[in-house]
Structure formats: C-alpha cells, structure tokens
Amino acid sequence: AFAQKTVTGKVTDGQDKSEMIGVTVSVKGTNIGTQTDISGMYKLNVPNDESVLVFSFVGKIAQEVVIGNKTTINVTLADDASVLGEVVVIGYGSQKKRDLTGSVVSVSSEDFVKGQITSPEQLVSGKIAGVQITSNSGAPGSGSTIRIRGGSSLNANNDPLIVLDGMPLDNSGISGASNPLAMINPNDIETFTVLKDASATAIYGSRASNGVILITTKKGAKGKPQINFSTQFSSASPVKYVDVLSASEFAALVTEKGNTTMKSYLDTADTDWQKQIYRNALTTDNNLSISGTKGNLPYRISVGYLNQNGILKTSNMDRTSASIGLSPTFLDKHLKVDVNLKGSKSNNRFANTGAIGAAVSFDPTQPIYSGSETLGGYYEWLDPSTGKPNTLATLNPLGQLMLRDDRSDVLRSIGNVVFDYKFHFLPELRANLNLGYDISRSNGSVAIPANVGMSFARGGTNNVYDQNKTNKTLEFYLNYVKELPGIRSKIDVMGGYSYQDFLKDNSNLEKNIAGDVFLDYFYKTQNTLVSFFGRANYSLLDKYLLTVTLRKDGSSRFSPENRWGLFPSAAFAWKISDEGFLKNSNTISDLKLRLGYGVTGQQDVLGDYPYLPKYTISQSTAGYQFGSKFYNTLRPEGYDANIKWEETTTLNAGIDWALKTARISGSVDYYYRKTKDLLSVIPVPAGSNLTNQILTNVGNIENKGIEFNINTTPIHTKDFNWDLAFNITRNINTITNLTKVPNPTFPGILVGGISGGVGNTVQIHTVGYPTNSFFLYQQVYDENGKPLEGVYVDKNQDGVVNTSDLARYKSPQPDFYFGISSQFTYKKWFAGFVTRGSIGGYMYNNLNSTAGTFRTSSNAYLNNVVRNATVTGFENSQYFSDYYLENASFFRADNINLGYRIGRIKNKIDATVSANVQNAFVITKYSGLDPEVQGGIDNNIYPRPRTFTLGLNLGF
C-alpha cells in the first residue's frame, strides 16, 4: 500500500538544549531529505514506517531513528567526542583536545595529503600553521626539511624531535637511505601530532627546542577481521627543463664570439642532454592490512611494497615494509600491553646527480655516443695531448648515470612494548613502562667500470660501505589522576625516568677495480641521554587549567659539570566559553585562551665528545715520511671543556575558538622564542686552542611570529559536503648576538657556499638581521635595464668597490607562508586539493650565475650556457651580483585529487577508486626550475616531478 506519511520534529543541542539550525534530516538509503529551520524544526515526507531517519550535523554524533508508527520525532544531538572530546597524544600521555594548555595540532589519517606519499612528513605538508615542510629534492624517498616556527639554532640541528608510538627516534641520517623517515611506511600512520610551544614540548627537555612531532600508528580494530588492500600506480615526469641554448643557437654563439680553438670543437649533433637524462618514471605502491580483535587481543598486521622510480634515469627505491600492532589487556583490563613492531627493507639505487648539472652545460652539438667501444661507448671530451678523458671538462651526462652503479640495502626495525598498569587497589594510579629499540643495518656499494670517463685515472671504482645503528630506550612513569569533587578540581600528576642510548659504527672501503685501496675507514661512536621528568595538571571547575612540567636531562656529550640541564614549563588555559556569560551563547561554541612559557634545549651537535681533549690518528693517506718510513700521525683535537646545550625560552599566547552555527573553528597563536648560548661555530682567539674555529655556546637568536588557522565546512547537506581549511604563519627571525665579547663592528659569519669558484659564499649571519641574509653587491644597470658587467654600487662611497660594499639584503626565509586545503564530497564522489604558498623569501639563482657567462677560452672543451647568458652578455662570472637574487614567492598546488566510492560490491567488498595529481602547478616569478629550495641557493637540485596517480582501495 501507498503509505507515505509526514514526519515532523525538532532537533536540539545535547550540550545546551538550544534549537539547532541547518541539521540535515534524511531518509537512509534514499535521496529524500531536508534541513531544520531557524527554530530547529523540520518536516519531511517519508515513504514508509520501515524507513530510518538520519540526523547529521558537523561536530555532532549522527543519529538514526526508525520511524515506526511515529509522526513526531524529536532528537537531541550529542557532541561528537571525536571532535570536541577528541583525545590528542602528548608527551608521555594523552589529553582531551579541549583540555590542552599548549599549542598542539593533530592531523589524523582522513585529513592526510593524498597521492603518492613515500615519506611520512609529506602527509601533513601545508596542513599545519607554523610548520614548514620542504622536500629536499624530487629523488625517490627523498627527505624533507621540517621547520617548526623557524629554526632556533645556527649550527646545531634545526630538525624537530620525532617520537614514534612513544619512541623518541634518532633522526640523523642512515647511510644508504636517502631519508631515515622513509623507512617508515606512511600507510601505517594514524595521526601526526605537532607540539609547537615550549609548554607542550618541554617534557622532552634538551631535544625539544625545534618542536616535537608525535606519530602514532594504526591499531587493531574492534570485532572481526577487516582486511584492507590498497594499490596505487603513479607516473612522474619532469615539469620543465633548464632553459639552455639549443645546438644551433649554441653553434651560432660560438661561431660569433668564440676563438678558433672553440670553433674547432663544435660538432654537428643536436643533443638535448636534459631530455636524455630524465624519463617518465613509474611507481607502484601496494598495501595490505588485517585488523581486528581475537578474544582480548586487538591486532593489526600490515605489509607494504613500494617500487618507486625517479625521473632521473637509474634512480629507484624499493621498499618492503611490515608492521605488527598488538594491544591486549590482562588482569581485568588493569594491564594494557601495547606492542608495536615495524620493519622495513629498502633497496636503493642512487642516480649520479652530477648528471643534472652536466646536462645543463654539456655541449649540445656533441653526440651521446662516440661510436666506439672505449669509455663505455659514450662521447667524452679528450685531452688533446694525451687522448685520455679531459679531467677539467664536463663528463657525458648520460654516461654518468648509466655507468655508475650506486646501490644500497637498508634494514631498519623500530619496536617497542608498552606496559600500562592501573593499580588494583588504587585505580587512580597508573604505571607505564616503555621498552624499545631502533636498529638499522645498511650496506652499500658504488661501482664504476675501469676505463670510463668518470673514474678513468683511478682505474674504476669499487667502493663498499656499511653502517650499524643500535639505539635503545627505556622509559618508566607513574601517573596519578584524581577528581576532587569537594573543591571541584581535578589533578593529574605524572613523574618518570628515561634512558636512551645511541650507538653507531661506520666503515668505508674505497678501491679501484684492480683492488688498489684508496681509503679504509672505521668509526664507532656512542652517546647516552638520561632524564627525569614530571608533569602536573590542575583543573578547577573544568574551566581553569594549569599545567606545569619539568625535565632534567643528562647528556654524555657534555662534561660532568655541564651535563645536567633543567627544563621547566608552565601553561594556563581558560575555557571562556564555559563561563556563564557565554555558556548559552548562540554563536560561540568554544573559546579558550592559552598562555604558556617554557625552556627547552638543543644538544644535537656534531660529534659525541666535543668537551674531551682527544687525539685522532690519521688515515694512512695522510701520513708523513721520516727516512723511508711513513707514520700515521696523531692529532690533538680542539675542544671546549665548557660546552653545553643551547637554551630556548618560549612564550606563547593562543586563542582557540569555534562558532556554533557557521561550522567554523580556528585558532590564533602568538609566540616569542629566544635562544641563548647558541651552539655556534666561531673563530677562537688564535693561539688559544688546537683549531681555528670551535663549536661553543655563544650568541642569541629570536623568533617571533603569529600563526592563524581556520577550519570551516561552508556547505553541509545530505549529498554535498565542503570542508575548507586555511592556515598562515608570519615568522620573524633575528640574530641578536654572535660574539663572546660584545663587538658592534663585527661584520658577521659568512655562510651560504655556492657552486662556482671555491669557497665563495653569498650569505651572512649578522647581528640585527635574519639568519642567512644574502650578502651581495648591488648591481648597476644601463638605461635599458641591462646589468653592467662588474659594475656595482659603491655603498660606502669611498671611491672603490670592494668587500666593504657588500650589502645585506633579504633572506631565504619568507615573510609569510600559508596552506589552503579543501575537500568536497558529493554523494559517492569526492575531490580535494592541498595548496601551499610562501611570500617574501628570496633565492640566489646559482645556476644562472655559474652557467650564465660566455667567454672565449683555450680549454679543449666547450660548455653550453643558460639562456640568461644572452640577456646579460657577461663574459666573466659575477657570483656576487644581486642580479642573481630573485623573489622566490610562490603558490603551489601540491595535490589535486578526485575519487569515487563504488561502495559494496556483492555486499562484500567496499571499493574506492581515486586519481591524483601532485605538484599540479606552481605560480611564481622565480626564473629557475623551482622556487622552493631549502637554504635559498638554487643549484641543480634533483627536480620535483609532476606525478599522476591512480588508486584503488578495497575493504573486505
């Protein structure tokens, strides 16, 4: 029978009993639906009594109600705990998001950047205010430079501490791995949490100055086994090529301007060397996981296989990974055990990146192959007097790739077991023990045949190296949580101990094909970190929150007198929206003020023994002859007995807010960070130490900035949902001191070495300026805007242009950087994008400054030039001209994705297909290949490709 009827009702907010506007009301499994009106009322025609009504609203738990014989259905929607009651991991514990006092941002798997992601940090690139993630190159598995709120150090490490499932990782390089993080399969990651201010990070003490990233991996699901299989297929290709002269243009240039020697070397081939060295590169990435609960044992097992080719020929990364996660409970759920085991094996082939620069400068009139068997068949420039490869000339770019076999095998396993015991007699008290390891074993080899251009004189290359790293962790803490209803308070106190030991050895054997040994090297080093830490949280009326933390760290890297450091922090948060005057507000659903202060450290310095006097024995290749015997020499090393960690003091003030009706939330943070006792390499007074420069504690840096982010769902209907997120950061970095003895005339420390000449630098650290400010001559132009070769502004007007006229101008650090991401769903379709941008950063175009001059030469080879050479007409390299300094502001579409949820196939398989394009486009004024180069000096980096990916996900 036709039984359509009308159902009406009202939807109210479970939190404050107010009427809810704009709630989606729909009939499950149909396209029938409506929205509540201004008074929270709805009215809907439903097909039959068996229909189910679905009430949904952002931030609330959706409710389903069977209609039955009812005609009025009123519902109350409760807050979705996963949004407002969301629990966030913090150092040594977790906390409800709404109770956080520090600046903490968490991104979970559904919000991760999509596409072919090989290394975990790329999952959140552009997603978090205050966090800059710049991939180092386009090579397979390449790492990224992660900067949280600007770097706090000059010479010490500026990388954040990364903690994986409670295990603080050693993130220093692993031999043979292009990036230690790429040994972790991004598909196993559930959340990525960034602790930004000192009140959040200080619990990690001497390693926390550059922020802390907490990564948690996926855990076992409830119920019967769920199997998930995903496969991705990608194709990457170069976005653009360096603009060099074509064969005919180059021949014309040499004919016009070259001398007879040069003209005699021109040939008739037409070779586009860049096209020769790059390729379209295919990648497959396959992941299978099983997750469920058997008895009281939740488990998750996953395996992954990635085979990624790089666009530079021969580069490849092959990774097999597996992980096991078990989280059983015992003793009536009083004892929770968490076991995480991850292992991966990666086989890499590294391309010879020397080919990138060679392809720019190799003469395009020369052929690729010589037509003879010698030198591997590749054309090379020969020394006319010897007929052997010319040692000064550029080597054949393709030969450099194809004849060099550079491979590595790397195994890394990270595992830990966490015992969390809630005392039977005192359930408020919890003991937590974490035992873990992080082990890697690498070995690699570089082989080049004898009698080819690259290694001709040496007689080929046959090098092998290996590295073993063994890091151990033991951590224990007690946590006591008590509600004190009498005084409407809650206390949460934690105290613990941590021990970490880092041991590594390296060996390196360099030989030629005949077996002559050129280097035989072994090195072993160790350091240990011991810590005590504690935290107290106090909350009053669930509105006023106070957190105090303290960590005491002892590092073997410093002398017993300087070994121990104390790192305190305090933070206060006020949940203003829970106050009476806002509690019933119709507009504001959440408003919280956070204030934090803390001191953190940085101890990641070169070498494990900087405070000890020690002697180093020389290699046999640096021996000295007495009589007819050679002696390996003993060198006393320079040292600073008083070296200690640097200290960063951070102040943070933030506001978190959310509006009720507009589905909009966000936060604003202001921070001020001052680092003192910088670990800096400075000149020692000559004669006072066994070196001329030493790593010591001197200097101060300030970083201050504002972070702003906003998340909104502008449209939310039954069929269509649109999420939009925006974040922007302004960071100002200033050096405030650099010398032990105050000296206002100190010009600064030259940094920023470039290619071209030897020892040439284009940047400087100076008091009063940002770190790595550019330090160049100001170019003078003619009336047509053409730069005049070698003519610069006499800044100090003393009549001569010399080094005193070099000027500090701009820096690689942008004034602003931002991210915009969005996701749309329409019925079974979904689409989204992630974009990033940066404004005000500058880049030194080192490629133009080295390959942008044409001069006559007596060399027995020719080098092509970039087209810029025809613009400037420079005959001698002008490395220090600010002509080569360019605005590197950019806007980049990191990812655009489109997908379709096919849904249940035969009621068994849940299938989704997707398509992605990564690095879709870049808008910039920068004239080089890519405006994003960490450090601000662009010189032949492995270019980032554009990647198209097709993906299929099946759930069983």
Partner 1 sequence: ATVYKDPASYKQILAKMYAGFAVSGQQGPAGQPDISGIDEGFSTYLRQYWKAQELTTDESVIGWNDGNLRDYHDMDWTASNEFVTAMYNRIFYQITLTNEFIRETTDAKLAERGVSGSEIKTYRAEARFLRALSYYHALDMFGNVPFVTEADAVGSFLPKQTTRAELFAYIESELKAIDAELTAPMTNEYGRADKAAAWTLLAKLYLNAEVYTGTKKYTEALTYSKKVIDAGYTLESKYANLFLADNNKSKEIIFPITFDGLNTKTWGGMTFLVHAPVGGSMNPAEFGIGGGWGGVRTTKNIVQKFPDATGAKDKRAMFYTQDQNLEIDDLFKFNDGYAITKYKNVTSTGAKGSDIEGNFPDTDFPMFRVADVYLMYAEAVLRGGGGSTAEAVGYINKLRERAYGNTSGNITSIDLNFILDERARELYWEGHRRTDLIRFGKFTGAAYLWPWKGAVKEGKTVPEYLNLFPIPSADIVANPNLKQNTGY
Q: Given its phi and psi angles, is residue 687 left (phi above 0), alpha (psi -120 to 50 degrees) or beta? A: left
Residue 837 beta carbon to partner 1: minimum distance, rounded to whole angstroms:
36
Smallest distance, partner 1 to C-beta of residue 507, A: 14
For residues 757 and 768, which CB has a smaller minimum distance to partner 1 in the complex? 757
CB of 640 to partner 1, least distance (A): 7
> Which among 658, 750, 748, 747 is positioned nearest to 710, based on CA atoms?
658
Q: Whole-number minimum distance, CB 681 to partner 1, in Å?
A: 7
Residues from 592 through 621 that contact partner 1 (CB under 8 A): 613-621
Closer to partner 1 at the Cβ: 8 or 620?
620
Whose CA is closest to 450, among 461, 435, 442, 460?
460
Residue range at the interface with partner 1 (CB under 8 A); choices 284-292, 323-331, 344-352, 797-805: 797-805
Question: Does residue number 385 form part of the binding site for partner 1 (CB under 8 A)?
Answer: yes
Cβ proximity to partner 1: between 39 and 385 the closer is 385
Residue of 591, 761, 765 lying closest to 681 (CA atoms): 765
**Binders of partner 1 in range 834-873 (CB under 8 A):** 855-859
- What is the token pair recorded at 94? 């977790």
Does residue 522 interact with partner 1 by CB under 8 A?
A: no
Choose which of 31, 386, 587, 797 interacts with partner 1 (CB under 8 A). 386
Range 883-912, binding partner 1 (CB under 8 A) = none
User: Total binding residues for partner 1 by CB under 8 A?
Assistant: 83
- Closest distance to partner 1 from the beta carbon of 393 (Å): 9
Count CB neighbours of 673 within 10 A: 24
Burial 833-865 (b: 16+ CB within 10 A, else e): bbbbbbbebbbbbbbbbbbbbbeeeeebbbbbb
Selected from 347, 468, 877, 912, the binder of partner 1 by CB under 8 A is 877
Asked if 692 interacts with partner 1 (CB under 8 A), we say: yes
Nearest to 23 by CA among 49, 62, 79: 62
**Interface pick for partner 1 out of 626, 782, 783, 906 (rule CB under 8 A):** 626
Q: Which residues within the stretch 734-763 sit at the binding site for partner 1 (CB under 8 A)?
A: 739-741, 743, 746-747, 750, 756-761
Q: How many residues does the chain have?
A: 956
Q: With contacts defined by CB under 8 A, name the span among 118-126, 549-557, 591-599, 631-639 that binds partner 1.
A: 631-639
Q: How far is the CB of 940 from partner 1 (least distance, A)?
A: 18
Helix (H) or strand (E) holding 250: helix 247-257
Q: Does residue 71 bind partner 1 (CB under 8 A)?
A: no
Any contact of residue 384 with partner 1 (CB under 8 A)? yes
Applying CB under 8 A, among 486, 560, 685, 799 the residue interacting with partner 1 is 685
Binder among 682, 776, 862, 954 for partner 1 (CB under 8 A): 682
- Site membership for partner 1, residue 684 (CB under 8 A): yes
Distance CA 882, CA 792 (A): 9
Q: Is 263 in the site for partner 1 (CB under 8 A)?
A: no
* 768 is a contact residue toward partner 1 (CB under 8 A): no
Q: Three-state SS for 754?
A: coil
Establish if 264 lies at the interface with partner 1 (CB under 8 A). Answer: no
Strands (E), 3-158: 5-13, 24-27, 33-35, 41-46, 52-56, 63-66, 75-77, 87-90, 93-96, 104-108, 131-135, 144-148
Could you tell me which residues are beta bridge partners of residue 428?
Answer: none
Residue 38 in the binding site for partner 1 (CB under 8 A):
no
Binding of partner 1 at residue 622 (CB under 8 A)? Answer: yes
The full 3-state SS of 553-565, as one line of letters, equals EEECCCCCCCCEE
Per the CB < 8 A criterion, the answer to whether 253 and 348 are in contact is: no
CB atoms within 10 A of CB 166: 21
Per CB under 8 A, the segment of 319-327, 513-521, 529-537, 647-655 that binds partner 1 is: 513-521
CB of 655 to partner 1, least distance (A): 44
Q: Does 781 bind partner 1 (CB under 8 A)?
A: no
CB of 502 to partner 1, least distance (A): 21
Distance CA 395, CA 253 (A): 22
- Return all residues near 332 (Cβ < 8 A) that are at least 6 apart: none
Least distance from partner 1 to the Cβ atom of residue 84, Å: 54
**Residue list 438-457, contact with partner 1 (CB under 8 A):** 456-457
Q: Which token pair is 860?
A: 């027995």
Among 392, 662, 923, 950, binds partner 1 (CB under 8 A): 392
Residues 632-671 that bind partner 1 (CB under 8 A): 632-636, 638-642
Both structure tokens of 64: 């389903």
- The candidate with the shortest Cα–Cα distance to 571, out of 201, 61, 261, 35, is 201
Q: Name the DSSP letter for residue 356.
A: H
562 or 711: CB nearest partner 1? 562
